[in-house]
């Protein structure tokens, strides 16, 4: 396994905390059961299996996994029922995080975003990824490569706020946030440049406390001190970005895959903006990525519980498969 020094620091912090009570939603597949057992054994998860009991136990027997010590909450034999039961557990405070098992993203998040019975807060749901890249001197957070396809300015404000709170939870006390665009200056050809400038103006008015937010900024200038110097950029963020806010989902996906593909890096993420953190690993994600996402959830959950009560005003969450 590749060395993951930035992730290891988070693992060490997680070990100092009690295991995270988490619902493994629709845990009818080997990977979900293995994650639950691994997390319980390592001491960072206190998992509750949620789903049709007979199918879960049959799969465990087929895979040779002993789940007799794990609590199990029965649900009807369909993914939606499992997700609804898990959300109910979270609303009651019996679990502090949700982990997606063998169900689609839509089935997982629909009960979360339900108007009266879900886990909505005043903020839009968004997705942030923690990147541990070999050779890079700091961890990176990239948003939003999963939920918000083409967010407008109001949505981007929520995305930035969610991601800053996430950075704080991971121990980045004053994150440098780069609002990415194809150009570092405002140009009508790229609307994301003017939106970045608007977000920067909001930051100057105190909309994003506890962070330095600047843009528009190209990715090379945000990541490389050498590029920042050559560009003549005078900025606290240029060359020292902790958070990269991509203008669209497509650009975020390409950015994450390029960075991890070139370096062999790790990318693990969470859904943010709900009352509890939500782990939504891809069906093909390796166990390393799943474990890393649960470590992130433990720290994010602790920060949520220690924070003041969130605003009650609900907003419409953007959910995209």
CA-to-CA dists, residue 175 to 26, 161, 172, 224, 242, angstroms: 36, 12, 6, 16, 6
pLDDT tens track of the chain, all 321 residues?
468 999 999 999 999 999 999 999 999 999 999 999 999 999 999 999 999 999 999 999 999 999 999 999 999 999 999 999 999 999 999 999 999 999 999 999 999 999 888 999 999 999 999 999 999 999 999 999 999 999 999 999 999 999 999 999 999 999 999 999 999 999 999 999 999 999 999 999 999 999 999 999 999 999 998 888 887 777 889 899 999 999 999 999 999 999 999 999 999 999 999 999 999 998 889 999 999 999 999 999 999 988 765 444 443 344 433
- Domain topology for 1-125+273-321: Rossmann fold (3.40.50)
Q: What is the pLDDT of residue 240?
A: 93
Distance CA 268, CA 141 (A): 10
DSSP state of 207: S
Q: What is the pLDDT of residue 60?
A: 97
> Containing H/E element for 126?
strand 126-132
All structural domains of the chain with their residue ranges:
1-125+273-321, 128-267
CA-to-CA dists, residue 31 to 43, 96, 99, 100, angstroms: 18, 21, 12, 11
Q: What is the pLDDT of residue 312?
A: 41
Distance CA 164, CA 128 (A): 10
CATH second-level architecture of 128-267?
A: 3-Layer(aba) Sandwich (3.40)
Burial of residue 311 (CB within 10 Å: 0-12, 13-18, 19+) is exposed
What b-and-e string marks burial along 173-211, b requiring 16 or more CB atoms within 10 Å of the CB?
A: eebbbbbbbeebebeeebebbebbbbbbebbeeeebeeb
Q: Tell me, yes or no, if the two domains 1-125+273-321 and 128-267 fold the same way.
A: no
Q: What is the pLDDT of residue 116?
A: 85
Under 8 Å between Cβ of 38 and 67: no
Q: What is the pLDDT of residue 318?
A: 42
Both structure tokens of 114: 């339900």
Q: How many residues does the chain have?
A: 321
Q: What is the pLDDT of residue 3?
A: 80
pTM: 0.92
What b-and-e string marks burial along 9-48, b requiring 16 or more CB atoms within 10 Å of the CB?
A: ebeeebeeeeebbbbbbbbbbebbbebbbbbbeeebbbbb
């Amino acid at each position: 396994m590749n060395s993951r020094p930035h992730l290891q620091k988070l693992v060490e912090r997680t070990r100092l905390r009690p295991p995270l009570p988490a619902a493994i939603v629709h845990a009818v597949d080997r990977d979900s059961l293995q994650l639950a057992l691994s997390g319980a054994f390592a001491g960072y998860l206190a998992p509750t299996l949620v789903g049709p009991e007979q199918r879960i136990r049959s799969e465990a027997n087929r895979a040779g996994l002993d789940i007799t010590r794990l609590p199990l909450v029965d649900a009807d034999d369909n993914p939606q029922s499992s997700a609804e039961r898990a959300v109910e557990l979270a609303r009651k405070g019996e679990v502090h995080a949700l982990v997606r098992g063998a169900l689609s993203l839509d089935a997982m998040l629909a009960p979360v975003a339900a108007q009266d019975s879900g886990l909505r807060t005043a903020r839009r749901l968004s997705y942030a990824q923690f990147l541990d890249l070999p050779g890079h001197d700091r961890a990176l957070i990239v948003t939003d490569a999963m939920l918000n396809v083409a967010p407008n300015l109001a949505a981007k404000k929520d995305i930035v706020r969610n991601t800053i709170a996430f950075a704080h939870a991971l121990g980045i006390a004053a994150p440098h946030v780069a609002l990415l665009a194809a150009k570092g200056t405002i140009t009508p050809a790229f609307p994301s440049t003017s939106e970045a400038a608007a977000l920067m103006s909001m930051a100057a008015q105190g909309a994003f406390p506890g962070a330095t937010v600047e843009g528009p900024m190209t990715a090379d200038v945000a990541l490389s001190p050498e590029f920042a110097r050559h560009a003549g950029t005078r900025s606290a963020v240029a060359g020292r970005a902790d958070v990269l806010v991509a203008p669209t989902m497509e650009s975020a996906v390409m950015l994450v895959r390029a960075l991890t593909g070139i370096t062999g890096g790790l990318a693990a993420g969470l859904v943010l903006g709900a009352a509890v953190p939500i782990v939504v690993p891809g069906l093909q994600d390796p166990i390393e990525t799943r474990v890393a996402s649960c470590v992130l959830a433990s720290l994010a959950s602790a920060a949520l519980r220690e924070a003041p009560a969130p605003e009650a005003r609900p907003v419409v969450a953007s959910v995209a498969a």
